[in-house]
Chains A and B, each alone.
Chain A
Amino acid sequence: MLDKLAGIFTLSENEKKKFRKIEEALLERYPIGEDPWGLNVNKARKSLKKIYPIYKHYFKVRVFGKENVEDKPYMVTSNHTGQIAIDGMLLSTAFVMDVFPPRILRPMVERFFTALPFIAPWAAEGGSVLGDRTNALNLLKKGQSVMVFPEGVKGIAKSTPDYYKMKPFTRGFYRMCAATGTEILPIAIVGAEEFFPYVYHPRMIQKALGLPALPLSLNYFPLPSPVDIYIGKPIKIPEGLDQDSPDKDIDEQVFQIEKVIKDLVDEGLKNRRPFFANQTGPKK
């Protein structure tokens, strides 16, 4: 039992070899030192060393559609699930460990997050940045890939009956893509909702307390639900659209992206691995 538990946090010889190769590639791709947003490749590498065994052996992440990713900046756009942003951490790890060439995604985080002691600087060292239009535009212009969850906190904080039901996407991310001509890479993450299988959100109390979310759950430590990440085909910005296009035109495109991700989620739900929290495994 203890051996099994220890196995979660250790890498096999082959995995260690792969990790070393990725480390070298990262150090070649990113300059030593810190960038203006706080990314520190050396510290990110150390964090990744701790996260990768959990990614591999605890959440048993599989990545599909790697062939859709080229060596260029993307607006990596995903559904958001699982009460806390573990899905973002796994997606970031996937783009370093399982996508070629490895790259550090820049996740856009909520405003309250950047005021959290210890967590905010740790996340910034790993690449996260404040979800602000200026930041996203500057990063895209510098050739970096930005990660967004256009459902926001509403998407992540769902009660059990609403699992895998996507909330409407906001349009800010699309306007930033239109401003820079960046392609959108649609992503579906399946398996993260089951980290916390039974959750209830008392909305009235949450609003009265002024909190972004108030999940009441049977467990507050994520269960080892197997996670699948699906990468869709990149979506180009149609000609004639720019950052100042009317909401109606932008909404049409955002709705299309939402649909692509929804289809990827449905495909993922059909093929998911059995786990007690999703009862039967594949959805009938």
Chain B
Amino acid sequence: MISLKDVKKILIIGAGGGLAKLTASLIAQKYPDICIHGVDPRDTDFLVKKDNIKYQRMKYTRGNFERLFREKSFDMVLHLGRLSHAQSDQASLSKRLDLNLMGTSKILELCLKQQVKKVLIMSTYHVYGALHDNPVFIPEDYPLKASIKYPELRDVVEMDQIATNWMWKNQNQIETIVLRPCSIIGPQIKNTMSQYLTTPYVPVPVDFNPMFQFIHEFDMAKVIIKCLDRVPTGIFNVAPDEVISLRDAKDHLKVPYMPVPIFILEQAAKIVKMAWSFPDYFINYIKYSCIIDNSELKKHIGEDFCRFGPKETLELLKLD
């Protein structure tokens, strides 16, 4: 198995994201000899550049991306560039299909062609779907049911399936890790969940109170590094052991909220959606729990891989 000690060059895709920046900094600090190359279709000028970290703005489906692979011969590739599904309008959907599906296929094809030794792909726990009959501790081989109720999540599920199918097909040539983390929150992460938790007066269901697993961005970055070092090919859920209910999380943050029955929220979402994009799949995630099983990952990186519990993670979110 290849580890970070054996590599010289790493490519981080989606390097403009909060988690990618944190991961790049941690790797650069621990392994000063590794050269990190970050790419992102977003503006990368504002990113802090270190001696061994370089950034480049580019799309993953263009010819110059292929050239980058050819010229640099990367040892490891971290695909952290999944486009968020926080917006649900048609324009965003086609952009997501292009980047998440076509982009991922292109990245994996290039990794194989250029003989990359290890690939890490960041998926999400959203692929399992938030359904009332979800068992607690969903294992990695559980059916991916997210797109059954909300077709807008189909790119998320399909991207995961592209990655996992490719992983098993090429397991003898390339080490591949697919991670499905729970909600990652932290001051640098601007995802739907972080915004929902910190925004005052957002509606919170009064008739449901789902359980959540939250992982702090710093813990998640450390998990990625441990995975690169000692985890073999496979799919792994990433979540801490401790859980917290939605209302407790809100109370802990001391952010005022509006208690609203879920059926009113569902109807209101339809009206709101006419005026501006609203991720209505999210309503199910604040209605039913989607608790994932972390036992597979623990077999490789040990029991205590999270420094922060849910309450501490929320405390740190308040510091933003």
A interface residues (Cβ-Cβ under 8 A, vs B): 33-38, 40, 111, 114-115, 117-118, 120-121, 124-125, 129-130, 132-135, 138
Contact = CB atoms under 8 A, between A and B. Distances in A.
12 contacts: A33-B248, A34-B245, A36-B211, A36-B291, A117-B207, A117-B261, A120-B132, A121-B207, A121-B209, A130-B135, A132-B133, A138-B136
A133 B133 CA distance: 12
A219 B311 CA distance: 47
B132 A34 contact: no
A33 B243 CA distance: 9
Interface of B: 132-139, 207-209, 211, 243-245, 248, 261-263, 288-289, 291
Contacts of B135: 130, 132-135, 138
Given A38-B209, A117-B208, A138-B137, A111 B132 contact: yes
Nearest to B247: A121
A35 B133 contact: no
A28 to B, nearest CB: 20
B208 A134 contact: no
A107 to B, nearest CB: 14
A35 B207 contact: no
Given A117-B261, A117-B262, A134-B137, A38 B211 contact: yes
The 4 nearest A-B residue pairs measured at CB: A117-B207, A134-B135, A115-B132, A132-B135
A37 B135 CA distance: 9
B163 to A, nearest CB: 24
Contacts of B136: 36-37, 129-130, 134-135, 138
Nearest to A115: B132
A14 B136 CA distance: 39
A114 B211 contact: no
Contacts of A111: 132-133
Contact of A114 (B132, B138, B244, B291): B132
B291 A121 contact: no
